[in-house]
Amino acid sequence: MSNPPTAKEIRLFCDGELSLPEAAAIESKLREHPQANALGDFERDLKQRVATALKDGSAPPAGLADRVREALAAGGGVADEADSVGRIGPPSDAPAPHRAWWKAPLHANAFAVAASLVLVAGAVLFGIFGQPIDAYRPPAMIDISEAAAAVAAEHMGTRAGGQGRASRYSTPEDAGRGLAGYLGKAGCVYDLRDLGYKFVGGDTCEVPPCEPGCHLIYRGTGAKKGVISLHVVPRSEGLQTRGTVGLNVLPLPTDKIARDANCQMDVLVWNHGDRCYLLSVCIRQDAEDIALRMQKALLAGSP
């Protein structure tokens, strides 16, 4: 994964000040980093609201002109309004991959653009942007790798020590009733017997940093000796899947969190409805077939 774009890069991207290759690179980074993407959405929305305010003909608050002149003079030694117009006037009409947000058919004058900057700075006082700027909080980001490491560790403990904590419900019927609130509307206790796995236990679980959910366990039958763990937790806005390249056979976008020093197992992660699913499978070659079966059942059970 690439490094997230800086705040300056996000602003330049939203202002349309980047070349086509530069803009494409930032757009790709925004797709990879949900928190940066949220900030980009906020920046674009803010500029749209400012542009709307400039077009509607509303008179600025009393004393705004003096404040703009003072701010411009303090920032760059501007002597008068004419000088400021020369310095921040609109760019040329040469074709560009992105047009500046304020360059509308009516061509807002330079003083109006400068005034909008003061309005942005004073948005908390004037309240013209709806939500005050200092009240904006991007959605809390959940590190999907941390969640995957947690479920992988519990899976390994289950494999080594029997059913472990996930043993309150020992039959599919009991688990389906007892865990219905955690499984969600489309969730169920999956029948995997034709794939060589039998349900052996289920219970509630904790998957840091997610909210409490449930854990379903299956064991291989016959020659299969592996274990399957499925953790189901409430979906968070901050935990977004993008779809790992190579998992194209699955009907839902699915991330594969690969085994590393912190994560003891490969973990497949996908979202559906208001739930997030984290799947650990001992026998690697079975993992995608099992995920496919579960995802099809989810889609079939959806309203």
pLDDT in tens, 265-298: 999 999 999 999 999 999 999 999 999 999 999 9
pLDDT of 302: 82
For residues 91 and 197, give the distance between their C-alpha atoms in angstroms, rounded to a whole number: 66
Cα distance between the two ends of the chain: 35
In this predicted structure, the answer to whether residue 117 has a pLDDT above a threshold of 80 is: no
- For residue 178, what pLDDT band results from cuts at 50, 70 and 90? very high
**Which of the listed CATH numbers 3.30.450.70, 3.30.200.100, 3.40.50.300, 3.40.50.10320 matches domain 144-301?**
3.30.200.100
Closest CA to 48 of 135, 128, 136: 128
Nearest to 207 by CA among 167, 150, 153: 150
| Backbone φ/ψ region at 251: left (φ over 0), alpha (ψ -120 to 50), beta | alpha
pLDDT of residue 287: 95
Q: Where are the domains of the chain?
A: 7-135, 144-301
